[in-house]
Structure 1
């Protein structure tokens, strides 16, 4: 019995075969229709390998591969944290350096008088800053960060009143990560992209990781797709590039991951080590921790170090399991709810389940004038709102900084989205809703109506 149990455990921690991975990708793309093209990269005892399925765009017969360029979204945050760690290793910054010390004169930070927001606070999402700035009001919701420049960023910082002091509570903040990238670039006297190239991608010989288009990219770039697998435009992050602006390939991210895992020697080795030396509890009731950039999940042999990402047309996952020496990169050119997180987690730990196919929901017929009761703005978080509006006989929901999505009635006061796995139920008193509840990802998030 002991030998059998040990063999089973070894099998669960072994690197998956190419056939197993291809079966997962085929099911995700061809059966579930949850992407157009997915590329998976694996690092194990035998080196690197690539398994891919699908195409760069709908109607494009070419296959995706390790050289296909994707937006990597919030995986960029690990690069931003690495820039900080590298600067600390070089002696030019400290974790407790106040962010305000890096800004030009006249730019104010929403600091507590006794506890200013530090670089560590930004890198660990403990700054007290909201997920998004409240003055993010894009003129083009299909490219929501494009017109959010430094003037708007500085205006927000000058007027924002924090709800809590830094270091008190973990709150994932795209604003904070973007602000960190901006501050580091100011300190270096370079653009964020120039800083990433000079300190990370050039030393690691990553030739296909950047923000702006690089030589040879035109014929290798994937097209992003929304959850309905319709093509969408790429995102430009302007002042908040450190939160999610990078584009890369699976081949390049495998180079990055090998360096992070210590499988290759690099001048960034001390900085990679520093990323994991600072940890904060995520506060989600489990064992998860927030390191500098990375998220650390699980304990002991099952511990996984990872980050994911998503933009309007892409999903990404990068992670590794120290106990097995296995690393995984997964990139998809569709912004579907299921994404590729479950694939990455499953390939690192067979006990982690793959996401089930979305349940099929059926829309019922209602009088479109009944939609008027739901129209309005609802606050899910201090800087995150959900706006419900009617367009003719159709009802739409639009979250802060995101595209609108159509929602469909499935029962009285209850609606569902087809583009993502999410439902909304309204609490109606009299002739209009006073609140709604967003049902998504196993969570029920209430949101009261606010007057605007």
Structure 2
């Protein structure tokens, strides 16, 4: 099976799909999301999805599909999913809790809480702080450069503290420090340092600080829940992901009911054991651009005269989205046990003018026709798009981005299910594809075959 990527997801392309505010009735928006969920599952984009809505003071759930494609187990609000990088908001909340209770400061150097033998990179004499790690401004890369999993289907299970410390000694900061550079290893390091300060494991911290007080009984980093669903790639079951030292970056499994408790607690900051920490974790600390800020773990996107706090997540066979708005007092959780992104549906809940990825049925082509797409196409001097074919499945990979499956829409056009993208190919006089136009959220990028 094709190994997709080790990323736990934040899809920056979602930032550019906001349009002008639209006045749409509440029920209409929810029905649009439900219709899209049904369409994607009916067209084999996904296997099973749970959506939790909180709006106008009312909490409702919608489920469709299966917990396991082979066994046809019906999916329920209690069904548990891997939530990937949404775990980062929990890790940042644990940080805020320690700031409130233990007297550490967001401006403290992380290095002083590591063994004396462990050195981490600095920039112009400035050391990486807790705030840097939680806002993705440390300059650390997205992934540790020394992660070489024995089993690519479960890439984090054998990456431990020894490997992390080796990486830190030689790590190179990207874009210096102080610029947004999404980093899984940065938040993995953050989770590890929090366990050293507290003297508890990441699972113990998670349960004691967040899950037990909020009665999130099905939320854990362990694979022990009887409600645990199966992840899928192209509707085929795949292995669950397990974590060691990188737990803080994406190890949590949860269900829609628990995550809605979490988001409603984020909306109600008047009481509760974590209210002070949640309030601190929502404070904007870094401005990325005119529409995006970073709080502790949360991305804050400005749209439709509102500010949306959100995070997405993805593991080998899952995608997830969680978001809330203090201004409109509403929240949404979408959990999906396949690699079909749900970011567009999550954002649509807050702004109905968001472009929704259309559901399309792939055109079945013979292998020779599929092979004709294969090649490397140059968009810019340092930006290329590579099309590959493996086991009768086409894949696309742009420089610096994750590899994604693509599907024939016509004999000269491919489409992507994970983002709103199509690729039009053009024949030369020899009957070969020699150029293409990539359309990514309406941004058209021509490229020539190398």
TM-score by length of 2: 0.79
Cα distance in structure 1, aligned partners of 2:270 and 2:142:
35
CA separation in 2, counterparts of 1:345 and 1:438? 23
Superposed, 1:27-426 pairs within 5 Å as 27-30=39-42, 32-112=43-123, 114-167=125-178, 169-214=179-224, 217-218=225-226, 220-226=227-233, 228-262=234-268, 265-283=271-289, 286-299=290-303, 301-336=305-340, 339-358=341-360, 360=362, 366=368
Give 1:211 deviation, angstroms. 0.6
Q: How far apart, CA to CA, are the structure 2 residues paired with 1:212 and 1:82?
A: 19
CA offsets 1:129-163 (integer angstroms, 9 cap, x no match): 11111112222111122221111111110012324
Q: Take 2:373 and 2:29, find their aligned partners in 1: how far apart are those partners?
A: 50
Show CA shifts across 1:76-114 (max 9, x none). 010011111111111431111111011122111012352
**Counterpart Cα distance in 1 of 2:164 and 2:263:** 32
Give the whole-Å Cα distance in 1 for the aligned partners of 2:231 and 2:176.
38
SS in 2 for 1:330: strand
Is this contact kept in 1: 2:304–2:351, CA < 8 A?
Answer: no
User: Which residue does the alignment assign to 1:4?
Assistant: none
Change (3 A) 1:309 1:393: closer
Q: 1:224 to 1:321 in 2, by over 3 A?
A: same
Structure 2 SS opposite 1:212: coil
| CA–CA separation in structure 2 for the residues paired with 1:406 and 1:300 | 32
Could you say which residue in structure 1 is the equivalent of 2:6? none
CA distance in 2, matches of 1:64, 1:370: 39
8 Å CA contact 1:301, 1:323 repeated in 2: no
Following superposition, the deviation at residue 59 of structure 1 comes to 3.5
Of 158-167 and 437-446, the range deviating more from structure 2:
437-446
SS at match of 1:331: strand
More displaced stretch, 300-309 vs 415-424: 415-424
- Asked if structure 2 preserves the Cα contact closer than 8 Å seen for 1:39 and 1:51, the reply is yes
Residues 15-26 of structure 1: matches in 2 within 5 Å? 21-26=33-38
Provide the C-alpha distance between the structure 2 equivalents of 1:399 and 1:145, rounded to a whole number of angstroms: 24
For residues 70 and 393 of structure 1, what CA distance do their matches in structure 2 show? 29
Q: Distance in 2 between matches of 1:386 and 1:186?
A: 42
Q: CA deviation at 1:66?
A: 1.4
From the two aligned structures, give the one with the greater strand fraction: 2
Q: Is the contact between residue 22 and residue 351 of structure 2 (CA under 8 Å) also seen in structure 1?
A: no
Per-residue CA deviation, residues 176-218 of structure 1 (Å, 9 max, x unaligned), is 111111111111111111111111111111111101134xx22
Greater mean deviation of Cα atoms: 188-197 or 52-61: 52-61
Change (3 A) 1:18 1:278: closer
* Residue 151 to residue 304, structure 1, CA distance change in 2 (3 Å): same
Q: Is the 8 A contact 2:367 2:392 kept in 1?
A: no
**Would the aligned equivalents of 2:395 and 2:406 in 1 still touch at CA under 8 Å?**
yes
Report the number of matched residues.
419
Matches of 2:312 and 2:140 in 1, distance apart?
Answer: 21
Greater relative contact order (Cα 8 A, min sep 6): structure 1 or 2? 2
| Match of residue 431 from structure 1 | none
